[in-house]
Amino acid sequence: MSIEATPKGSMGVAMKRKEDPRFLQGKGNYVDDLSFPGMLHMAIVRSPYPHAEIVNIDGSAALKVPGVKAVITGKDLEAAGLGWLPTFHGYDKQMVLAIGKVLFQYQEVAAVFAESRAAAADGAEAVEVEYKPLPVVADPFVAKQDEVLLRPDREAKTNHIYHWEVGDKDKTAQALGAAEKVIKQRIWFPRCHPAPLEPCGCVAQFDTMGRLTFHVTSQAPHVYRTAITIVTGIPEDKIRVISPDIGGGFGNKVPVYPGYVCAIVGALKLGRPVKWIESRTENLTSTGFARDYHMDVEIGARADGTVTALRVSTTADHGAFDAAADPTKYPAGMFGVVTGSYTFPVAHAEVDAYFTNKAPGGIAYRCSFRVTEASYAIERGMDILADELGMDPVELRRKNFVRKDQFPYASALGFTYDSGDYHRTLDVALEKIGYQALLKEQAEKRAKGELMGIGFSTFTEVVGAGPSKHFDILGIKMFDSAEIRIHPTGSGIVRAGTKSQGQGHETTWAQIVAEELGLDPQNIMVEEGDTDTAPYGLGTYASRSTPVAGAAIAMAARRIRERARKVAAHLMEVGEGDVEWKDYKFQVKGVPAKSVTMKEVAFAAYTNPGQNEPGLEATQYYDPPNMTFPHGAYVAVVDVDRETGEVKVRRFLAVDDCGTVINPLIVEGQIHGGLTEGFAIAFMQEIQYDKDGNNLNTNFTDYLVPTSLESPKWETANTVTPSPHHPIGAKGVGESPNVGSPAAFVNAVIDALSPFGVRHIDMPITRDKVWRAIRDSDPAKG
Amino acid sequence: MRVSIKVNGVAHERDVEPRTLLVYFLREHCGLTGTHVGCDTSSCGCCVVVLDGDTAVKSCTMFAAQADGREVSTVEGLAQGGALHPLQQAFWDNHGLQCGFCTPGMLMTSYALLKHKPNPSETEVREELAGNLCRCTGYNNIVKAVRQAAETLQAAPVQK
Amino acid sequence: MIPAAFEYIRAGSADDAFAQLQRLGADARVLAGGQSLIPAMRFRLARPAVLIDINAIKELSNIGIDNGRLTLGAVARDCAIERAPWIGERRWSLLHDASRVVADPVVRQMGTIVGSLCHNDPAGDWTTVALATRAEVVVRGKAGSRTVPIDEFLVDSFTTAVAEGEMATAVRFPVPGDRTAGSYQKVERKVGDFATAAAAVQVTLAEDGTIRDAGIALSAAGPCAVRVSEAEALLKGQKPTAEVIRGAAAAASKKSAPQADLRGSVAYKKNLAGVLVSRGLRQALARLGVQS
């Protein structure tokens, strides 16, 4: 047997990313980098009105623009049966191009196809559309009154989309009635947008046999393939969806957008490839926004701080179409995790969603379907309760935490939390941040009239959608998949149904396979995003990649190991039962000297398999038995300038517990990024509409993405409580920092302003809002 | 109109419309797609290239015509003879990138920065990179990477 | 987003540029740094038929101190100020401060001071600095070049004394005396944003420690940058006490007449005008060794 390096483990290794060299040399392959012979460019004509009847569309001037080949409108699409596309959770459908009227500003009205980017833009400008403005509903509380019906196309003649509730309404009401202390607060999580730096886009092309190849910025390529079949009727075998490198997604690249359908129609109609790349303005004004939840939070407690009941009633603004990308049975996503890390004996949550004349969406922006809203509501609510009880918010949390010995813990709203150690994670945070010293400093500063705040968030997230009995999108169960082939010389390829958008799957997936098989992760290639080669999967969002596809990969690798064991037994001339997998190789039980490596077995699987089936590959579809529940304890320390309202984040510590860590470098990177987005949401990013329905944040000069100068420097630490049901104990991490941090920032600011009696400020916390809160405060205080 | 621009040392002479932005000249006329477009307002910095050796500019806010007769360096020209530039190496070592879309612009801004300030402090790096957005990394590791590259370059300055 | 089509002319000299402008009139726009013009063209908010590119004109990129004046040509870049060898001198502290917060560091490589003055955004930085320093702009017209004091140059939002067919060729800042310092105080929502409010302050002390001269101007406080002459008058001849500073700040706050927008409410911006003038004065005085 050959001499080679001793195989070693790959789990928990801070391996540098395998995908980086191509990105570092400008050799990434993003959609807009693609070019095909004869390729046309598409531009979209959009509505300047938030709500208007379309009287006429005249494309004749556009067709005279040199290079313009065609103009299509909603009428054309409707005639071809392509007027509408289904939204992912099946409660609504969305216009591809406006039919009869427009329902939000920047809605897609016509598509123009031309020989160049510039000609397409010129053509779009030349399309003449006559509108007749209609009354605008830009507020869900106005929509509720049903005075203006926005969607007469629907059977139910109301702006109300759905009512969803969970928990025991009556018992919760009773418990709140009996509580010694009840707090109530309207908390708005405003509308924001993921704004990945690469906008959305696609290239559609049909080959001579009529097969569609569709390159697209998709976080879920297989779902797109199925959706395209549903919308267009093209058989699924005649469609190949390819997600090339993606420049960030954050949930924005989950839905199927009207532009994609138009590009496919254009390619079919004109017989040439069609590229559509949206502008930043198009991205911010028409693709999936997030949040926009108005939450009435009530918490009941005993005088000693023990919580007794939670009730949250939410009014949700979904915009013109219900294009929220939630699983079918969960119109309000995982909002039921709103009881957070605390042992509420009873709770009730309800969400009522409404149409307004705003862009459609409600997608999960770095979030596992409305978990961010839920987490923010409870973590703000706990701080308000602590304030009203005169308790330290840390003590209130500690008192009500689910204890380590209570796991698996059945929450009042129906989740079974898999594992956690909330007290320990909080203790690590308190020690690392130096809480006692900070409290002392704060007291000294307050005596001098300086404003310093300390804010906590001890959140629990729910990720890894999800078990097939509960979760599906378009009816497809939310499993994920992996296929592994080990080559004769001990290298291999793994394909998964997920799609990295920066999360580092090419590295992490290789590490899982390498760990399970004792191989070198540098020689395990990872391929995702091509529906012709990858097994069917539901894609990457909602922190589901590691909990679902990561599990599938580990289990596929274990299947390979079981097949390899037979070959190893053959090689070592012992019975299969005498072979054990130890120290990353096969050994004869009790005879450590007699062993073979996976590399040797791989070679034998192709050259000398004995009675065994030749080759070494496996496919695994994984249906998770439960969700995973990462948690964390976050602390923000802020200083507030009372004259300008400026908030300076002096320190921010995130202690995360995402279970087993596969690659600490990547996990830390995910946390840094998520914290920065949480910071952005807390202080800067907002999509606002004026009362007339005009979008006010249509590009990066007003949709404020933080730079290196605004962004705080992050401190991180972790605890490890493995998930008991996940094959490698991992829980997922990409979203925790974005879910957990907004409340910590806001709690810190409110703490800083507590001398003025300020109780709550809605995000984003701008300097103006802080200054006005101080100005308008009780003059007896402060 | 006819323009001739030397990109990464190679002359590219093309007929273009005057309205051709430099970034599209690079991407669509030279086939150098490493330089990206992330916005229309000169805000994101995904399109940053280096002009005449030491000036970082946003190539979406400049016409190709303006660069006629000048030298442009893009991310594709950083690595020399198969070896990564110290900045590229440092971004790799420090996990200074995730989705990779902002990375070329970050690298080129950093490249020009180190020409003017060979040994920047952490605050100076944060100040000088504030014309480039990143949605993934939270900047911590980018700042670390630029400072590591500065050290490497000072210890053994590479030509170019 | 792609601009509408236009004709491009690269001017070889200031004379050439001026001749083209005269010939083309309202159809033409001068392209200097282009950092406001090109985005506006991409959105098709600006659609000139002809662009006259003046970037290659050597004589317009000059930066020089001569005859008690600092002259910056029409294509002198923001970053050139930041890097000028004399910028560390106390007398230039206002220009130095401002040069570090205009737009963002990459935009400053192309953006020009004169271009910013000609754009005359109500929330601009250089217009405010030019007021506080009592700069003047050289405008070339049919009758030759004339020098326009900044107060007359800034006419209204996005409107200056540069008429059709004319071009601004330089800005001149008086070289401040030895006992001069300034400060630029800007509140912005993020790097790259225009000011929510900003104050440019420049103070010259007399031998006896009284204020000999003061320049105070505000950004985002009116249709274009605003000189707070009331505060200047209040300071002149006074010892720089806390009370005098309070008075100047109050005058600034009173004078500020901002628009409510996404950057902030009227009340907030008026408050900032006072706070920033006060902070600017205190920093300028501290730079002169006076604690106030």
For residue A437, give every residue at least 6 positions away whose Cβ sits within 8 Å of its Cβ, in sequence order, or none. Answer: none
Task: For residues A449 and A781, give the distance between their C-alpha atoms in angstroms, rounded to a whole number.
Answer: 11
Q: Which two tokens stand for residue A675?
A: 């914290």
Q: Please name the member of A121, A704, A766 whose beta carbon is closest to the beta carbon of C2.
A: A121
Region B111-133 average pLDDT? 98
Strands B48-51 and B10-15: unpaired
Pick the CATH number of B2-77 from 3.10.20.30, 3.40.50.300, 3.30.450.40, 2.40.110.10: 3.10.20.30
**Alpha carbon of residue B142 to chain centroid:** 14
For residue A444, give every residue at least 6 positions away whose Cβ sits within 8 Å of its Cβ, in sequence order, or none. Answer: none
Query: What's the topology of domain B86-155?
Result: DNA polymerase; domain 1 (1.10.150)
Q: Give the type of residue at C119.
A: H
Task: For residues A105 and A47, give the distance between their C-alpha atoms in angstroms, rounded to a whole number.
Answer: 5
- Whether ipTM > 0.95 holds is yes
Residues of A taking part in catalysis: 219, 366-367, 735
Q: Is B131 touching C (CB cutoff 8 A)? A: yes
Query: Which band of pLDDT confidence, cut at 50, 70 and 90, is reported for residue A7?
Result: confident
Q: Give the type of residue at A320.
A: A
Residue C83 Cα, gap to closest chain B Cα (Å): 9
Given an 8 Å threshold on Cβ–Cβ distance, is A714 in contact with B140? Answer: yes
Given an 8 Å threshold on Cβ–Cβ distance, is B63 in contact with C1? Answer: no
Q: Please name the member of A643, A684, A766 whose beta carbon is closest to the beta carbon of C275.
A: A643
Task: For residues A233 and A725, give the distance between their C-alpha atoms in angstroms, rounded to a whole number.
Answer: 40
Q: Is A709 touching C (CB cutoff 8 A)? A: yes
Given an 8 Å threshold on Cβ–Cβ distance, is C189 in contact with A125? Answer: no
Collapse the DSSP code of C272 into the 3-class scheme (helix H, G, I; strand E, B; otherwise coil) and give the result.
helix
Whether A421 contacts A402, CB under 8 Å: no
What do you get for the CA distance between the two ends of chain C, in Å? 51
Q: Ramachandran region of residue C267, left (φ > 0), alpha (ψ -120 to 50) or beta? A: alpha
Q: Nearest-CA residue of chain C relative to A123? A: C4
Whether A648 contacts A707, CB under 8 Å: no
Given an 8 Å threshold on Cβ–Cβ distance, is B44 in contact with A27? Answer: no
Q: Note the pLDDT of residue A581.
A: 97
Neighbours of B, requiring at least 3 CB pairs below 8 Å, are A, C
Whether B80 contacts B87, CB under 8 Å: no
pLDDT tens for each residue of B84-103: 999 999 999 999 999 999 99
Is residue A2 predicted with pLDDT exceeding 70? no
How deeply is A323 buried, as exposed, middle or buried, from its count of CB atoms within 10 A (0-12, 13-18, 19+)?
buried
Q: Nearest-CA residue of chain B relative to A665? A: B95
Give the start-to-end residue ranges of the domains of chain B.
2-77, 86-155
Whether A107 contacts A46, CB under 8 Å: yes
Residue numbers of chain C with a pLDDT score lower than 70: none
Neighbouring-strand partners of residue A480: A622
Chain C residues close to B63, C-beta within 8 Å: 8, 34, 38, 51
Which of B4, B43, B110 is the best residue to mutate to test the C interface, defined by the most C CB atoms within 10 Å of its own CB?
A: B43
Whether A41 contacts A119, CB under 8 Å: yes
pLDDT tens for each residue of A467-494: 999 999 889 999 999 999 999 999 999 9
Q: Angle A258-270/A221-232 helices, nearest 10 degrees?
A: 60
Q: Is B104 touching C (CB cutoff 8 A)? A: no
* Mean of all residue pLDDT scores within chain A: 96
**Alpha carbon of residue C61 to chain centroid:** 17
Q: Nearest-CA residue of chain A relative to C265? A: A768
pLDDT tens for each residue of A398-448: 999 999 999 999 999 999 999 999 999 999 999 999 999 999 999 999 999
Task: For residues A673 and A666, give the distance between their C-alpha atoms in angstroms, rounded to a whole number.
Answer: 11
Q: Nearest-CA residue of chain A relative to B20? A: A118
Residue burial A620-634, b: 16+ Cβ < 10 Å; e: rest: bbbbbebbbbbbbbb
pLDDT tens for each residue of A146-164: 999 999 999 999 999 999 9
Q: Which two tokens stand for residue A59?
A: 């494309």
Task: For residues A181 and A389, give the distance between their C-alpha atoms in angstroms, rounded to a whole number.
Answer: 8
Residue C124 Cα, gap to closest chain B Cα (Å): 16
Nearest residue to A97 via CA among A229, A210, A263: A263
Q: Is C111 touching B (CB cutoff 8 A)? A: no
Given an 8 Å threshold on Cβ–Cβ distance, is C1 in contact with A644? Answer: no
Given an 8 Å threshold on Cβ–Cβ distance, is B95 in contact with A33? Answer: no
Given an 8 Å threshold on Cβ–Cβ distance, is C53 in contact with B17? Answer: no
Q: Note the pLDDT of residue B160.
A: 47
Q: Is C271 touching A (CB cutoff 8 A)? A: yes
Chain B residues close to C87, C-beta within 8 Å: none
Residue burial A656-683, b: 16+ Cβ < 10 Å; e: rest: bbbbbbbbebbbbbbbbbbbbbbbbbbb
Chain A residues close to C265, C-beta within 8 Å: 768, 772
pLDDT tens for each residue of A620-660: 999 999 999 999 999 999 999 999 999 999 999 999 999 99
Residue C269 Cα, gap to closest chain A Cα (Å): 8
Q: Note the pLDDT of residue A483.
A: 98
Given an 8 Å threshold on Cβ–Cβ distance, is C192 in contact with B63? Answer: no
Element containing residue A45 per DSSP (H, E) = strand A40-46
Chain A residues close to B32, C-beta within 8 Å: 26
Which of A276, A284, A768 is the best residue to mutate to test the C interface, defined by the most C CB atoms within 10 Å of its own CB?
A: A768
Collapse the DSSP code of C93 into the 3-class scheme (helix H, G, I; strand E, B; otherwise coil) and give the result.
helix
Is residue A1 predicted with pLDDT exceeding 70? no
Question: Over pLDDT 90: what percentage of chain A?
Answer: 96
For residue A750, give every residue at least 6 positions away whose Cβ sits within 8 Å of its Cβ, in sequence order, or none. Answer: A383, A453, A455, A758, A759, A760, A761
DSSP state of A755: G
Task: For residues A32 and B35, give the distance between their C-alpha atoms in angstroms, rounded to a whole number.
Answer: 11
User: Which spans in A434-531 are helix H?
Assistant: 435-447, 505-517
Neighbours of C, requiring at least 3 CB pairs below 8 Å, are A, B
Q: Chain C window 31-90: which residues touch A at a Cβ cutoff of 8 Å?
A: 44
Task: For residues A337 and A641, give the distance between their C-alpha atoms in angstroms, rounded to a whole number.
Answer: 35
Is residue B158 predicted with pLDDT exceeding 70? no
Cis peptide before A764 (omega within 30 of 0): yes
**Cβ atoms within 10 A of the Cβ of A6, count?**
9
Q: Please name the member of C1, C2, C268 whose beta carbon is closest to the beta carbon of A768.
A: C268
Given an 8 Å threshold on Cβ–Cβ distance, is A26 in contact with B135? Answer: no
Residue B4 phi, psi dihedral angles, 5° rounding: -130, 115
Chain B residues close to A197, C-beta within 8 Å: 36, 38, 44, 46, 99, 101-102, 133-135
pLDDT tens for each residue of B125-151: 999 999 999 999 999 999 999 999 999
Q: Please name the member of C4, C268, C275 whose beta carbon is closest to the beta carbon of A772.
A: C268
Given an 8 Å threshold on Cβ–Cβ distance, is C187 in contact with A767? Answer: yes
Q: Is B146 touching C (CB cutoff 8 A)? A: no
Task: For residues A138 and A127, give the distance between their C-alpha atoms in angstroms, rounded to a whole number.
Answer: 27
Q: Ramachandran region of residue A104, left (φ > 0), alpha (ψ -120 to 50) or beta? A: beta
User: Which spans in A36-154 are helix H?
Assistant: 60-64, 74-79, 117-126, 140-143
pLDDT tens for each residue of B35-84: 999 999 999 999 999 999 999 999 999 999 999 999 999 999 999 999 99
Which domains does chain C possess? 7-53 (3.30.43.10), 59-174 (3.30.465.10), 180-287 (3.30.390.50)
Q: Is C39 touching B (CB cutoff 8 A)? A: yes
Q: Note the pLDDT of residue A780.
A: 62
Chain C residues close to B62, C-beta within 8 Å: 34, 38, 110
Given an 8 Å threshold on Cβ–Cβ distance, is B66 in contact with C43? Answer: no
CA trace torsion A694, A699, A702, A706 (10° rounding): 140
| Distance (Å) of CA C50 to CA A126, C11, C82 | 21, 12, 32
Q: Which two tokens stand for residue A144?
A: 């509720």
Q: Give the type of residue at C76.
A: A
Task: For residues C4 and B144, give the distance between their C-alpha atoms in angstroms, rounded to a whole number.
Answer: 42
Whether C31 contacts C112, CB under 8 Å: no
Region A582-594 average pLDDT? 95
Neighbouring-strand partners of residue C136: C149, C172
**Cβ atoms within 10 A of the Cβ of B133, count?**
27
Collapse the DSSP code of B150 into the 3-class scheme (helix H, G, I; strand E, B; otherwise coil) and give the result.
helix
Question: Over pLDDT 90: what percentage of chain C?
Answer: 99
Q: Note the pLDDT of residue A6.
A: 79
Given an 8 Å threshold on Cβ–Cβ distance, is A772 in contact with C4? Answer: no
Whether A646 contacts A507, CB under 8 Å: no
Given an 8 Å threshold on Cβ–Cβ distance, is B75 in contact with A26? Answer: yes
- State pTM to two decimals: 0.98
DSSP state of A659: B
Chain A residues close to B25, C-beta within 8 Å: none
Given an 8 Å threshold on Cβ–Cβ distance, is A25 in contact with B78? Answer: yes
How many Cβ pairs within 8 Å bridge chains B and C?
83
